Every structure is written in structure tokens, then in C-alpha cells.
Amino acid sequence: MKKNNKKLLFWMPRILGIIFILFLMMFSLDVFELRLTGWQIVMGLLMHNIPTLFLLIILIISWKHEIVGGIVFILAGVFYIIMLTMQPTFEWYMLAWSAIIAGPSLLTGVLFFINWRKKRHYRIELKK
């Protein structure tokens, strides 16, 4: 594999993970529309960002252990789709909406998994 392709494969899931986490954090900014006190805004931001903080921790772990990112980001995307379909007001057209959130998560997980497989394959090749 060319050196540029290795670098791209290394950085793509990490950059996409950062962008995805920032995108999810953007949804918590709705607490500023309400007329809340400073402490209520801080608590609202914290509550809205618990899943995002979890993904941030996973991204940090995945920086070195790609398999963790591969598994967790894929599970996060699947979990979001399952939770969406379990809503009582679920309509089938909402699956297209879920691609906005589940899609980047699934793609990030797949890229981490591919990166892990390539590194593993490279290590096996060196041992031969």
C-alpha cells in the first residue's frame, strides 16, 4: 500500500469522528433558546452531550485501538436506527432522516475497522 493511502486511511476515520462529534454537539445548543439561568444552561448542555462525550472518549481510545472505534461507532449507528424505529410516531420515511446521524457513525466505524484490518494484515505479513 502506498504511503499516502496509509496516511489517508489512518486520518479519515479520526477526522470524520471529530466532525461527527462536533455535529452532534451542535444539537445541544437549543438550550440557549430557552429562558434559563446559567446553571440550568450548563446542566442542559451536560445532559444533551452525554452520548457525545461517550463518543469522544471512544474516539480517544480508538486513536490507538481502531477495533474499539470500529465496533462502537457501528453499534452507535445501529442503536440510533433501532431507537428511531421504536418510537410510537415512527414513519418509514424517517429512515431517510436517520441517515444524517447514523450514516456518518456507520461510515466512521467501517473506516476504523478497515484501518484495523489493514494494520493487522501488515503485521501478519511482517511475521512471515
Domain residue limits, the chain: 3-127
Nearest-angstrom CA–CA distance, 18 and 110: 15
Q: What is the pLDDT of residues 12-57, one digit of tens each?
A: 999 999 999 999 999 988 888 778 888 988 998 999 999 999 999 9
pLDDT tier at 128, thresholds 50, 70, 90: low
Q: Averaging pLDDT over each range in 4-13, 24-33, 52-61, 80-89, which range is the top one?
A: 52-61
Query: Over the chain, what is the mean pLDDT?
Result: 89
Q: What is the pLDDT of residue 24?
A: 93
The three cell numbers of residue 97 are: 432522516
CA dihedral 105, 107, 110, 111 (to 10 degrees): -110
Contact of 16 with 108, CB cutoff 8 Å: yes
**C-alpha count within 13 angstroms, C-beta hemisphere, residue 36:** 14
Average confidence (pLDDT) over 69-94: 92
Q: What is the pLDDT of residue 66?
A: 94
pLDDT tier at 123, thresholds 50, 70, 90: low
